[in-house]
A and B are shown apart, each in its own frame.
Chain A
């Protein structure tokens, strides 16, 4: 098991183990090459997600895509945002200050 598809409604899956660049992860029967190291618990796009579309996990909206996201791509702070509150990270302190 590489990834978990939590709800049939979801357009993302969750990594069930950590991956390294070059590792291949099977998503929906298709092999996808990982570009960077990712810890377990991170999200990958199950299919193409257009900018502005809700990201669905647990069958619920957890935010919106800020750009087009390709199948298998890492879904995180760089391509989605909260519909409620800005997310604060140490690396992203600049984005937070700009209120993005």
Chain B
């Protein structure tokens, strides 16, 4: 077996982590400050802050936090509750404990308020970090990896250099047996027919067409596509032009399944993540920014995310490292410290698409082996989670499991 590392973090469900992070989780905005203060002294010691701001309960938000707190990169979780919010904190705690991870809940209203909650929380984190030193370790192979991809701050170079470069890396990872996930059906408007032709079955192809039609409807009601002013400054004119470029990230593998946020692929292959809510339009934009999409990829089990940018995004993520692939050579020169791969060099005759694809593939495995990405080293741990509603996927979405 081809081994990436011998000391991956082994979890009770059989999945393996490339990091051993402690998640400090606020369950309503009212507990955010206390959770942030608990995390602060440990922010460079693999303790990450995540959470949900809303007071009203939401099945999607519960499912996301459950998936994130039991993600293979997470070793333990501390839930921070104000005490009166709608979030089902007992259900979440039970789910995390059932996964074999140390977990506890700190209820601020029952712990004497801000100061004593922060002290108690920090003690808990210090103690659990000692316990995590005994986490079982073992070998990790490429076929055990889940890798996501996203683009942010796209421009006219994204679809020519970084996105097809990531596509080549995805082809290599799929060949390794890894599960690879691409997403944002709203950024695939215009590509639905070509994409459907790559689906493992005609039924899956039709579901992909339907998912993109749902995205087009959703964005039409909102009156705004997944398109930012900077995209146009960078030479992109229309949603479908951006889509064609974004689509190149998926590479050329057969599409094995259509998943929704929180669904973890059960086998290797290429998966499309449908991020647009089901049913009537509610709660606003499907994903308010790039990090909302990254969080959903992580909830689908992504160990690492390949992030393509042309204008120059600097974000990273909580829980799973983000590899920045810079499409535009001018952007790379001005934001060099934030970038991991100079894919724009293709435009200047300093490399080929195949070389860039091979470099991204190598780097993904190196990061899985423990190497830090640029955004990790700079301390980026962005996290955002909002309200959504999804129906569960049917069996036709996973023909390979049938």
Given A39-B234, A41-B235, A89-B229 in contact, is the A63-B241 Cβ separation under 8 Å?
yes
CB of B227 within 8 A of CB of A57, answer no
Given A43-B156, A58-B159 in contact, is the A84-B216 Cβ separation under 8 Å?
yes
Given A88-B224, A88-B229 in contact, is the A14-B160 Cβ separation under 8 Å?
yes
Chain B residues, Cβ within 8 Å of A53? none
Q: Contact flags (1/0) for A47-76 with B, using CB distance below 8 Å?
A: 000000001011011110000000000011
Is A4 part of the binding interface, using a Cβ–Cβ cutoff of 8 Å?
Answer: yes
Chain B residues, Cβ within 8 Å of A92? 232
Q: Contact flags (1/0) for A77-91 with B, using CB distance below 8 Å?
A: 100111111111111
- CA–CA, A61 to B229, complex, Å? 21
- CA–CA, A85 to B245, complex, Å? 17
Is B289 part of the binding interface, using a Cβ–Cβ cutoff of 8 Å?
Answer: no
CB distance from B23 to the nearest CB of A (A): 36
Given A41-B155, A84-B225, A85-B227 in contact, is the A62-B244 Cβ separation under 8 Å?
yes
For the A-B complex, the count of residue pairs with Cβ-Cβ distances under 8 Å equals 120
Given A17-B347, A18-B330, A85-B189 in contact, is the A39-B235 Cβ separation under 8 Å?
yes
CB of B240 within 8 A of CB of A43, answer no
CB of A41 within 8 A of CB of B220, answer no
- CA–CA, A67 to B220, complex, Å? 25
Chain A residues, Cβ within 8 Å of B240? 60-63, 82-84
Is B265 part of the binding interface, using a Cβ–Cβ cutoff of 8 Å?
Answer: no
> In terms of DSSP, what is the predominant structure of the interface of chain B?
loop
CB distance from B231 to the nearest CB of A (A): 8
CB of B233 within 8 A of CB of A39, answer yes
CB distance from B104 to the nearest CB of A (A): 45
Given A40-B156, A85-B189 in contact, is the A63-B238 Cβ separation under 8 Å?
yes
- CA–CA, A73 to B399, complex, Å? 47
CB of B237 within 8 A of CB of A75, answer yes
CB of A88 within 8 A of CB of B156, answer no
Is A6 part of the binding interface, using a Cβ–Cβ cutoff of 8 Å?
Answer: yes
- CA–CA, A1 to B245, complex, Å? 21
Is B121 part of the binding interface, using a Cβ–Cβ cutoff of 8 Å?
Answer: no
Is B310 part of the binding interface, using a Cβ–Cβ cutoff of 8 Å?
Answer: yes
Given A17-B347, A18-B330, A40-B156 in contact, is the A85-B232 Cβ separation under 8 Å?
no
CB distance from A8 to the nearest CB of B (A): 16
- CA–CA, A87 to B227, complex, Å? 7
- CA–CA, A99 to B232, complex, Å? 17
- CA–CA, A91 to B329, complex, Å? 25
Among A61, A83, A87, A88, residue most surrounded by chain B Cβ atoms (within 10 Å): A87
Is A45 part of the binding interface, using a Cβ–Cβ cutoff of 8 Å?
Answer: no
CB of B349 within 8 A of CB of A1, answer yes
**What are 27 A-B contacts defined by CB distance under 8 Å?**
A17-B347, A18-B330, A38-B235, A40-B328, A40-B329, A41-B234, A41-B236, A43-B235, A60-B194, A60-B244, A63-B241, A76-B232, A76-B237, A80-B237, A82-B225, A84-B216, A84-B240, A85-B224, A85-B227, A85-B238, A86-B223, A86-B225, A87-B227, A87-B238, A88-B227, A89-B229, A89-B232
Please list the residues of chain A having a beta carbon within 8 angstroms of any beta carbon in chain B.
1, 4, 6, 14-18, 38-43, 55, 57-58, 60-63, 75-77, 80-92
